[in-house]
């Protein structure tokens, strides 16, 4: 397999899709796997941080512009009910707007202790009639307390690109992944391997809510997540910033081991049901799939994304150590 060449900024790659695909974890073939020709560097190989691609001058915390929500963006406010869930939200660092506590619970020491902790953390506490909590509760088990989270501050795509710096970096783009649990798990994997950011659609896609926060183990607070109106346009912008675009799909002819999954890379993962849309597939420079031997149909999108992210990290780590990683076939792989 030939080594991935840097993409020149200001020029987009070619497409050529063949229908929607799954998550690159199946046996099927029938798409394309070859990458497009080399283009001049957009900054070359950057210095590694956390062992891999440089995060760039814009830190992940700064990428949210001080917590300001972009104009016109939908809020993502959630209610959390029950003492244990509220305590976990507080302990996990979930940004909380306020706590609503039922009147008459002053003798309940467990509730009193939790309220004191919330107040000590600077969370405003309101005493309200129990009937108000009953009306807000989704299942009637609020146990006298409901906390409201703050709207999540999404990044702009430009923030993600700035966070990537000029060198090697990973951006994960999700083509309408709708399950909040899968979304949160993907964000967690992306953050752990040092990705510069995650890109999602504003419509028909999971966003950052309580479920995503929990499954991401808080990673949604540590990696820029950009919402965009048009994924194809976002890919064009990433290409202009020097990123190669890889689609994970069951229809790819090449498996992940023989694909140039390294360098300055945008990894595209498709939705749980229909995979990557035809429009987005046409924007991909190359595609890859995960080889499979077992009987189960495939990995789900979160599992497949984790494998892909770690393959990128493996190659970046090997390159930083001066060890050839491209084209190596894992032991036991035919």
**pLDDT tens-digit map of 295-319:** 887 789 999 999 999 999 999 999 8
Whole-angstrom Cα distance, residue 116 to residue 106? 11
Which is nearest to 313 in space by CA: 198, 190, 148?
Answer: 190
Specify the pTM: 0.72
Hey, which residues does 289 pair with through a beta bridge? 255
Structure tokens at 206: 């999971």
Q: Which residues pair with 125 in a beta bridge?
A: 99
For residues 291 and 332, give the distance between their C-alpha atoms in angstroms, rounded to a whole number.
12
Domains defined for the chain, CATH in brackets: 1-71+154-334 (3.40.1280.10), 79-149 (3.30.1330.30)
Pick from 58-62, 227-231, 246-250: least confident:
58-62
Contact call for residues 179 and 272 (beta carbons, < 8 A): yes
pLDDT above 60 for 52: no
| DSSP string covering 143-201 | TTEEEEEPPP-PBPHHHHHHHH-SSSEEEEEEES---HHHHHHHHHHHHHTT-SEEEEE
Name the band, by pLDDT with cuts 50, 70 and 90, for residue 8: low
Q: Give the total residue count for the chain.
A: 334
248 neighbors 296 (Cβ within 8 angstroms): no
Q: Which of 161, 194, 205 is nearest to 63 (CA)?
A: 161
Which H or E run includes 31? none
Give 7 or 82, the one with higher predicted confidence: 82
Query: Is the pLDDT confidence value at 28 over 50?
Result: no
State whether residue 209 is helix, strand or coil: coil
CB 278 within 8 A of CB 19: yes
CB under 8 Å to 122, separation ≥6 — which residues? none
pLDDT score at 325: 66
Please determine, for residue 222, whether its predicted confidence score (pLDDT) is greater than 80.
yes
Query: What is residue 9's predicted lDDT score, i.e. its pLDDT?
Result: 56
Q: Residue 323: is its pLDDT beyond 60?
A: yes
Comparing 29-33, 202-206, 250-254, which segment has the lowest mean pLDDT?
29-33
Q: Tell me the three state secondary structure of residue 244.
A: strand
Q: Sign of dihedral through CA atoms 274, 283, 47, 228?
A: negative
Q: Are 277 and 177 in contact (CB under 8 A)?
A: no
* Amino acid 35: pLDDT: 45
Has residue 216 got a pLDDT over 50? yes
Q: Pick the more confident residue, 18 or 247.
A: 247
Percent of the chain beyond pLDDT 90? 54
- How big is the CA angle at 277 (ends 245 and 271), to the nearest 5 degrees? 90
- Scan for tokens 């509760």, then name that residue: 137
Question: What mean pLDDT, rounded, does the chain reach?
Answer: 80
Residue 230 clears pLDDT 90, i.e. is over it: yes
pLDDT at 43: 37
pLDDT average, residue stretch 184-192: 97
Q: How far is CA 306 from CA 117, 137, 147, in A?
A: 36, 35, 32
Which of 73-82, 163-172, 233-242 shows the lowest per-residue confidence on average (mean pLDDT)?
Answer: 73-82
What confidence tier does 23 reach under pLDDT thresholds 50, 70, 90? low
């Amino acid at each position: 397999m030939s080594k991935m060449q840097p993409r020149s900024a200001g020029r987009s790659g070619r497409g050529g899709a063949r229908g929607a695909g799954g998550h690159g974890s199946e046996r099927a073939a029938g798409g394309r796997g070859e990458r497009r020709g080399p283009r001049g560097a957009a900054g070359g190989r950057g210095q590694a941080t956390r062992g891999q691609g440089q995060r760039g001058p814009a830190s992940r915390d700064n990428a949210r512009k001080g917590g300001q929500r972009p104009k016109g963006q939908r809020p993502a406010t959630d209610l959390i009910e029950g003492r244990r869930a509220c305590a976990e939200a507080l302990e996990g660092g979930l940004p909380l707007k306020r706590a609503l506590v039922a009147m008459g619970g002053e003798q309940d020491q467990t509730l009193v202790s939790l309220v004191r902790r919330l107040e000590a953390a600077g969370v405003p506490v309101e005493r309200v009639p129990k009937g108000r909590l009953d009306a807000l509760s989704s299942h009637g088990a609020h146990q006298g307390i409901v906390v409201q989270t703050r709207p999540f501050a999404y990044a702009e795509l430009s923030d993600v690109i700035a966070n990537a710096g000029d060198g090697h970096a990973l951006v994960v783009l999700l083509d309408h992944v709708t399950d909040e649990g899968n979304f949160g798990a993907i964000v967690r994997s992306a953050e752990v391997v040092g990705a510069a950011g995650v890109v999602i659609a504003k419509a028909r896609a999971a966003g950052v809510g309580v479920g995503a926060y929990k499954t991401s183990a808080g990673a949604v607070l540590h990696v820029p997540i950009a919402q965009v109106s048009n994924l194809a346009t976002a890919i064009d912008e990433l290409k202009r910033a020097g990123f190669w675009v890889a689609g994970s799909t069951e229809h790819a002819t090449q498996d992940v081991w023989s694909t140039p999954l390294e360098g300055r890379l945008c990894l595209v993962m498709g939705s749980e049901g229909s995979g990557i849309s035809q429009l987005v597939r046409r924007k991909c420079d190359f595609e890859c799939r995960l080889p499979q031997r077992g009987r189960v149909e495939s990995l789900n999108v979160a599992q497949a994304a984790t494998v892909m992210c770690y393959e990128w990290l493996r190659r970046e780590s090997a390159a930083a150590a001066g060890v050839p990683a491209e084209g190596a076939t894992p032991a036991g792989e035919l």
